Amino acid sequence: MIQAAAIDGKQPPSPALDWDGLIAEGRSVLGAMSDGRWTDFNAHDPGITLLEAFAYALTDLAYRAGHPIAELVTGPAEGPDRLLVGDAVTPADLRRVAIEVAGVRNAWIEPSEHPTLRLRYTPGAGEFDRAREPIERGDPVLLAGVHRVLIEKSSREDIASPELARTVAEILHRHRGLCEDFDTVDVLAPLPVGIAAELEIDDPARGDAVLLDIYTALADYCSPRPAWVDAAALRARGWATEAIYDGPATGGRRLDEDAAPRRRAALQRSDIIAALDRVPGVRAVRQVRMGADGDDLPGPIRWSLPIPSDRVPRFDPRASRIVLTSGGGFALDSSGRDDLAALFAERALDALDPPKALDPPAPPARDRRVGAYRPLRFDLPALYAVAPGGLEPEAGSARLAQVSQLRAYLALLDALLANHFAQLAGVGALLGSGETASYFAQPAEPIHTPAEPGSEVPLHADGFTADALQMLVEPPSSIAGLERRNRLLAHLLARYGEEAPLTLPPAGLQGPTLPAGRRVLDSRARFLSDFARLSAGRGTGSNLLDPADEPPLLDRIRLKLGLSEGEGARLRLVEHILLRPFAEDDGQAQALLAAAASPDPFSLQLSLVVDEALRPAADSLARVVRAETPAHLTLHVRWFGGAEFDAFAAAYTRWRTTLCTQRQQALGLDGGAA
């Protein structure tokens, strides 16, 4: 049976959408305002006609206000992969970032126990020098926060190792943790591993399938693939949405750390036997031998096969020989089945793709043009003659006066409604960070001045503009408007658990033309406009491949203090780990560092260098620095005089430029050899 479509007759969810209810309330108000003398509420009464048109405009406004927020701000709706992600914090986060690079099959972020230049510390002299074997005096220094990045290439993409190392290094430098660094980024060379084994299977007819499964088991053991888990599977495990998307953006996918063991330092014969025994169809494992890099098979039985630190094991079916037997008879010998080795290699390539089951993307937003307003007079009956062209040419002056008087009365209602529609259209600017207005206005009708011959009389005075109307509604210098805007931005920051500024600089730091309210508004607007970087990158260091990049922590401190851009330039943040000696410092006759304040002045420490001109804000700066600095880091505040700070700032800039050039040359990003 076909059901006829019908309008839902249920009560609207909002009283503002209930046209009948608005009319009933309007009639009640009219009766009360006229002391009960207005009793004709029929449709022929002009007052009721105007009330119905006004109520219709109100329902239109309420309907538009109910559009999704993404359509009110006319921007794309953001999903959790944009709103809930942060920057890399742990080595596991960095590993996810590296594995996402095309051409990377697997990656490991390991502590660099012996950085490029090994150091020793002499307690009595407070000196750091290169540690040479054997160490005659002093204590070895093991720096914290220095990582070694190891990459296993994918066999799917044919990318040269130096190019792959450069790409991974560029991405990791953008996600580098504060007070952390990368000692080396190495692409491991594959170490072909051959296996010789004799196994008994239950069904000789399935010999080909069983051999392919054996190849898969051996490949997974030698070099386990990183296992990805998509958002749907994580939810099935009980993960909350914010936990799924915590960390760098990877499309809602996370690495299954339980299924991704550490890089193998050795292959164990007992583990290989166990892996073969788990293959479906294998009844018994008779013998197993293993070799690498062309070792003769079968050879001597090895219980363990060490893997060099610069190699990654890769099972090679063509260098292996798997003999399958069944019921005491021969079933299959892999040495004569190159076709199965090729088929296995093809299947292994297909298995490298990560899962594609992501959360569905947010629907695209539409521009609803919620500010478009239609004047009331356009919808009144023709008898009222207030619509454009509605007044007959032969109408007398009395009729013209009546029509003009009604138009003037309607103009008051239109102005009220049009400004409400303009305020709704200004939601995007109101919730943004660059707008300074808090009230928005628009003319109810297009402005025509002066009137063309034969056209209707204009409503607006000569020279009147939309900008002039906005000036009347809220002048830029309005103190009340500034306070409203500040309250709104404070509310938006509070929704993210933030507050800026935490304090205002003392009066001595404030410019004579910049009132306190404007400084607060400027700090809050700048914080919100850069919120994604300031929030996600709170523990992220500067990109060492960009000499102009600064840590988000420094900008957070500036904005939390309410400093202007000029005042904020009198701060510098130095990560001590970047001051450690490098290989290029080897060969110096003197100590690499003398009169050190501690046995390890490099690890997990940073210094905030401040101009003495900001000394009046010292107490506020101390509170902000304590609140903003990640708890695992030690921050020192150094005060420099004006000339001393300028000299330091110049030296700091040269140092950052030199460090950037050195990193780019080491990675071959300057066109030179890596």
**Residue holding tokens 């080909």?**
208
Q: Which amino acid is at 216?
A: T
Check residue 670 and give its pLDDT.
63
What is the DSSP annotation of 371-393? T----GGGGS-GGG--STT-S-T
Q: How do 139-141 and 282-292 pair as beta strands?
A: unpaired
How crowded is the C-beta side of 667, counted as CA atoms within 13 Å?
24
Question: In angstroms, rounded to a whole number, what is the distance separating the alpha carbons of residues 111 and 95?
Answer: 13
* pLDDT at residue 83, as a whole number: 74
Between helix 479-495 and helix 516-529 the angle, nearest 10°, is 40
pLDDT of residue 302: 83
Q: Which two tokens stand for residue 323?
A: 């003999």
- How far apart CA 652 and CA 574 sit, in angstroms, is 9
Contacts 24+ apart (CB under 8 A), 662-670: 662/582, 662/584, 663/173, 663/544, 663/545, 664/545, 667/165, 667/166, 667/169, 667/170, 667/185, 667/545, 668/162, 668/166, 669/166, 669/170, 669/545
> In 107-146, which ranges are continuous DSSP H helix?
none
SS (H, E, C) 171-189: HHHHCCECCCEEEEEEEEE
The residue among 351, 320, 325 whose CA lies nearest residue 338 is 320
Average pLDDT, 10 consecutive residues per value, the chain (674 residues): 69 86 90 83 86 93 89 72 82 89 90 73 74 63 89 85 92 94 91 92 90 92 85 86 83 72 86 93 90 77 88 91 88 88 79 55 77 92 87 83 90 94 89 76 79 64 84 86 90 90 70 71 89 89 93 94 88 93 71 77 93 90 93 94 94 94 82 42
* C-beta separation of 387 from 456 below 8 A: no
Q: What is residue 260's predicted lDDT score, i.e. its pLDDT?
A: 60
Please say whether the beta carbons of 486 and 528 come within 8 A. Answer: no
Query: What pLDDT, on a 0 to 100 scale, did the predictor assign at position 452?
Result: 55
Cis peptide before 190 (omega within 30 of 0): no
Question: 442 is written with which tokens?
Answer: 């628009």
